[in-house]
Amino acid sequence: MTSQQNVRKTIEIDGRDDIHSVAFLMEGKHILSGGQEEKIRRWRLQDGKEVARPIGAGGWANTIAISKDGKWIVGGSDGGRVLVWSVESHERVGELRGHREGVYAVDISPDGTKIASGSWDKTAYIWKRSTGERLLTLRHDNWVAAVKFSPNGRLLATATWGRSVRIYHSEDGHLLREFLIQPGSTFNQCLAWKDDTHLYVISLDGRIHHIDVSTGETLSRWLIRTDGVEKRGCIALPNNRSFIAASAHSSISFWDLTTRTKIGSDIDYDDLVWTIAISENYDIAIGHGKKITVWNLGDILPSRYVHKNVDPGERPLTSPHTQAEIIDLKKAMRELRDQLTVLQGRHEGQSRELALAQKELETLKSSIKAKDHQIDILTADVDHWKRFDAAKAEDLAAAHRELEERRRDSEELIAVGEELQFS
């Protein structure tokens, strides 16, 4: 783990059994974890201590989602059930039945009224949270590894293991798009919405795909590992959407979303990374093996990536850029100005050459006009002598042919000059 020798771990938690899912709640002060222990546990980030009683999940707690208002916990188990609990009391307040096999993905709509679930039985369901009524059944051609509502809740993205990503209308279930990307994550970790139009996906071959769901275009894709082995991966976006965290088997890297270049330090483990989550305070929780490790991203990434989105009226006066970064930016600006000066000089030189070529062309045109006048006089002379002196007329005709040849030569010169003018 040499890439993180200078990075400070915030905390490490013993999760009791393999961890499949983590999520932050209480404004990032607490962490929920679920996995093969068949319980959902709640941990205090400050000291890593467990708080409140664990929640029985009725099977492996494969996937966890927290409602945006922080009131509800939704979990999916390998027993095929989707369960809903109160964040405050940990009491179960709902049980959604219908899946015939394990549930590997759950999500809650931004307004908290709908729940989506994906299962090994090749179906995704959309439920009404308050009543448990099943609103939509979305059938797939392989088991559903991920479900994610768009930020406005109007769309639902689903991922089938190794097959495709689909985009549905969440109200009527209409299939809008399908992308043949071969998603590569198990527990609802291969999809991340940037906004209502742009979605990121990690595939089995270790690539991140940026897709525009409104046009059906893949805007970009890039490789986060080069070993060529198909492995599970996870991705997560922070609230400010400036970078993406991506895991490839046992390593986590960070990538600028604009330049698609790696930033900060990698985090490496000896065991498989199953799940990652980023809090609004820029802590990253990583479930690997039986442990949950939390790092503060301010110790890993350049400062410009670790700041909250705030309204312009509330934006702090201090810049997120370090002094060294500002100096680098100024240097880059000077280099760009120098390049602009060079280009302007080249343009001025080319303009002078073009003016000279135009002047030469005008001279050639004047010469041709004079020769045209001479040809007209000789032509009239030939006609005159044809009537009076055949011998003299023949001499003049020869002179006329010679001048015609010169005229053609001159016209060729004009053509060359005009070509130079417009090239």
Confidence of residue 72 (pLDDT cuts 50, 70, 90): very high
Please report the pLDDT score of residue 321 as a whole number: 43
283-339 pLDDT per residue, tens: 999 999 999 999 999 999 999 999 765 433 333 333 444 455 566 666 677 777 777
For the chain, report the end-to-end CA distance as a whole number of angstroms.
Answer: 60
Tokens of 371: 């020769």
164-182 pLDDT per residue, tens: 999 999 999 999 999 999 8
**SS3 per-residue string spanning the chain:** CHHHCCCCEEEEEECCCCEEEEEEECCCCEEEEEECCCEEEEEECCCCCECCCCEECCCCEEEEEECCCCCEEEEEECCCCEEEEECCCCCEEEEECCCCCCEEEEEECCCCCEEEEEECCCEEEEEECCCCCEEEEEECCCCEEEEEECCCCCEEEEEECCCCEEEEECCCCCEEEEECCCECCCCCCCEEECCCCEEEEEECCCEEEEEECCCCEEEEEEECCCCCCCCCEEEECCCCCCEEEEEECCEEEEEECCCCCEEEEEEECCCCEEEEEECCCCEEEEEECCEEEEEEHHHCCCHHHCCCCCCHHHCCCCCCCCHHHHHHHHHHHHHHHHHHHHHHHHHHHHHHHHHHHHHHHHHHHHHHHHHHHHHHHHHHHHHHHHHHCHHHHHHHHHHHHHHHHHHHHHHHHHHHHHHHHHC
> What is the arithmetic mean of pLDDT over 69-93?
93
Most confident region among 6-20, 263-277, 302-316, 353-367 by mean pLDDT: 263-277
- Of 119, 105, 19, nearest to 64 by C-alpha is 105
In angstroms, rounded to a whole number, what is the distance separating the alpha carbons of residues 305 and 308? 9
Please report the pLDDT score of residue 194 as a whole number: 96
Confidence of residue 411 (pLDDT cuts 50, 70, 90): confident
Confidence of residue 81 (pLDDT cuts 50, 70, 90): very high
> What is the arithmetic mean of pLDDT over 120-127?
97
Per the DSSP assignment, residues forming a β-bridge with 226 are none
Confidence of residue 126 (pLDDT cuts 50, 70, 90): very high
- Of 8, 3, 5, nearest to 296 by C-alpha is 8
pLDDT greater than 90 at residue 85: yes
Please check whether residue 274 is in contact with residue 19, taking contact to mean a CB–CB distance below 8 angstroms.
yes
Confidence of residue 230 (pLDDT cuts 50, 70, 90): low
pLDDT greater than 70 at residue 130: yes
363 φ, ψ (degrees, to nearest 5): -60, -45
Q: How many CB atoms lie within 10 A of CB 399?
A: 14
Q: Which of 369 and 220 is assigned the larger pLDDT? A: 220
Mean pLDDT, the chain, whole residue set: 85
Confidence of residue 136 (pLDDT cuts 50, 70, 90): very high
